[in-house]
Chain A
Amino acid sequence: MTETTTAPAAPTTVPAPDTPRAAPPRRRRRRVSPGRVLAWAVMILLLLVTLFPFYWMLRTALSSNGALYANSTSLLPVDFSWGGFERVFGLQSTEEAIAQGGSGASIDFWLYLRNSVVVATVVTACQVFFSAMAAYAFSRLRWRGRNVVFGVFLLSLMVPVIFTLLPNFLLVRELGLVDTLLGIMLPGLFMTPFAIFFLRQFFMNVSTEVEEAALIDGASKVRVFFAIIIPMSVGPIATISILTYIGSWNDYFWPLMVSYTDDSRVLTVALGNFNAQTPQTGPDWAGLMAATLVAALPMILLFLVFARRIVNSIGFSGIK
């Protein structure tokens, strides 16, 4: 990917004596220092470590299942086949799928994709918004008991997941929301302590000068939240949104609990079928890896779109 031409005022390596905004990307003209070469070498090594398993997934996804064991260390796909991907999209007949070591379960890919998108979008939007509201109250508003209440929220950070699982399931059932998308979304809809904590950290850093100026101009604190705090924290908000979206997208155990039929089945749960079927049978490796890649693809696309926004909005948090 090329450098962005409209260089934002992000902190860069430029040792500019003047203000950062005025600093052009002068480093292109700098000679290549040994330190920079080393740094790139480390980065590339880290990238290799990061990406090799993905190559291995792709190589496996494009292999045919039965031939994998006999050629386990071949660097290229073994007995090249689209079978894994065909099974993910439900394009193979049941008999064909089983003959290739796959599962006989039918897959309505687009329905599950839609369910996943709805769940992840709603959860992210609501959770980040509500968490930002709370974070604002904990960072910029003055009220008695603020620290005590924040401490209480902080405590919830430490509640082990295994504690909340069954009680939350009971609650969702009592609300009659078993097997609905709302039931899947509900526990994450209001907040996560992490999002509040994270955003509060950034809200605290927003300069008070701009806020005070607005207040003097007669703006209300509600307006300060919408017109100053949020716009100035777009970077962190986008970051937490993306992480929330991915987390919600990848969530497996909770949707598995709540979902019973296709009405509420999300992609991860549907693709869980590619995992081990019986205690001793191995998984359909080609299908499983294809499924993983397919499930991750929308996230990668989303990130490519949004990461640019994070990059381009970083300048705002630097404003003094």
Chain B
Amino acid sequence: MASPSVRAPGRVGRRDDTRLALLFILPASIGLVAFYFWPLVRGIWLSFTSWDLLSPAEFVGLENYRAMAADPVFWNAVRVTLLYVVINIGLQTVVALVIAVLMQRLSRSTLLRSLVLAPYLVSNVVAALVFLWILDYQLGIGNQVLEWVGLDRIGFFTSEAWAIPTIAVVNVWRHMGYTALLIFAGLQAIPPTTYEAARVDGASEVRTFFGITLPLLRPILGLVLIISVIGSFQVFDTVAVTTNGGPVDASRVLQLYIYDKAFGQFDFGYASALSVAMLLILVVVTFFQYRMTRAGQTDLN
């Protein structure tokens, strides 16, 4: 299967590598079709049906989508999910960026890097349980500390205003090391010579960061943002463990609603329509992110 290309100097890299490329993407394509696209097609089909498990799916046209448009719980879920994503991603990106830059600047210690990644080693469910306990209104050490400092106790998971921010922060805790490590990998890919040029020009730390580091980090940062936003939209475990959508509907995020419709009420058709809505939201959001961050391109070459 040796590539047929590549002998003639001067035409290097300009040859057509189609056959080799197809070979190289073959395994990935199998996974793509079998475990992503086939389920996707099936899900889209189901969204036009009424299906409750055993009885065969019955085609109902746009009925599910009409119901969805008129469903206040759905629109509330969209609003709550967006609020969550904004808080979660905003905070996480800033914190992760700070950690990554600090790691790069302060120490190459392996231990430090391991410690920072430690929360990622814990599953969502356990992270949620631990914080549910630490932040318990009455018995949590968190609220105890607030009281010692002289502040009022806060119903972190139990008041409508705090539920979503708290859940967002719990997930920031779990993912910030992960995100920081990805950004860190991107930082390492920036040739050191670029920094030196800036130093020679006498640029300050802050200017170097905003003028050089950030722009050169853009492709990786863009990628990390896209990935985190997509993951953030699908928040589920943390909510299910801590508030289960409450108080009232304050934390009833989209994924929780989909899950409840499918597994709690066996309304798989409607749940599929909700999933399609989520897919569409993700496609739109990702498209704009991709465009804005030009994540697909690189400035380095």
A interface residues, Cβ below 8 angstroms from B:
1-4, 9-13, 15-17, 19-20, 35-36, 39-40, 42-43, 46-47, 49-51, 53-54, 56-57, 60, 69, 72-73, 75, 130-131, 133-134, 136-138, 141-144, 146, 149, 152-168, 171, 186-187, 189-191, 193-194, 196-198, 201-202, 204-205, 207-208, 211-212, 215-216, 218-222, 225, 235-236, 239, 243, 246, 250, 252, 268, 275, 283, 285, 288-289, 292, 296, 299-300, 303-304, 307-308, 310-311, 314, 317-318, 320
Contact = CB atoms under 8 A, between A and B. Distances in A.
Given A130-B31, A133-B25, A160-B275, A218 B7 contact: yes
Contacts of A50: 115-116, 118-119, 173, 176-177
Contact of B20 (A75, A198, A221): A221
A211 B193 CA distance: 21
B35 A164 contact: yes
B38 interface: yes
Contact of B227 (A73, A194, A311): A194
A51 B31 contact: no
Given A142-B15, A215-B13, A222-B20, A53 B131 contact: yes
Contact of B223 (A198, A211, A310): A198
B275 A205 contact: no
A42 B98 CA distance: 9
Given A40-B106, A141-B17, A250-B123, A46 B95 contact: yes
A299 B123 CA distance: 12
Given A1-B110, A164-B36, A222-B2, A137 B279 contact: no
Interface in B97-114: 98-99, 102-114
Interface string B210-228: 0000000001100100110
B262 interface: yes
Contacts of A292: 122-123, 126
A93 to B, nearest CB: 26
Q: Which label, helix, strand, loop or mixed, suits the secondary structure of the A interface? A: helix
Interface string B284-301: 001000100001001011
B181 interface: yes
Q: Which label, helix, strand, loop or mixed, suits the secondary structure of the B interface? A: helix
B58 interface: no
A164 B43 CA distance: 8
B38 to A, nearest CB: 6
A102 to B, nearest CB: 16
> Counting chain B CB atoms within 10 Å of each CB, which of A155, A163, A164, A222 scores highest?
A163
A259 B168 CA distance: 31
Nearest 8 CB-CB pairings of A with B? A190-B31, A167-B39, A72-B139, A1-B111, A134-B28, A141-B17, A191-B28, A137-B24
Interface in B179-219: 181-182, 185, 187-193, 195-196, 199-200, 205, 219
A236 to B, nearest CB: 5
Nearest to B39: A167
Nearest to B42: A167
Contact of B282 (A9, A143, A160, A250): A160
> Counting chain B CB atoms within 10 Å of each CB, which of A11, A160, A196, A246 scores highest?
A160
A246 to B, nearest CB: 6
B130 A53 contact: yes
A164 B114 CA distance: 32
A167 B188 CA distance: 40
B259 interface: yes
B54 interface: no
A208 B6 contact: no
A201 B71 CA distance: 41
Given A3-B108, A42-B98, A72-B139, A146 B36 contact: no
Nearest to B10: A216
A17 B21 contact: no
A317 B223 CA distance: 18
Contacts of B16: 142-144
B115 A167 contact: no
B12 A160 contact: no
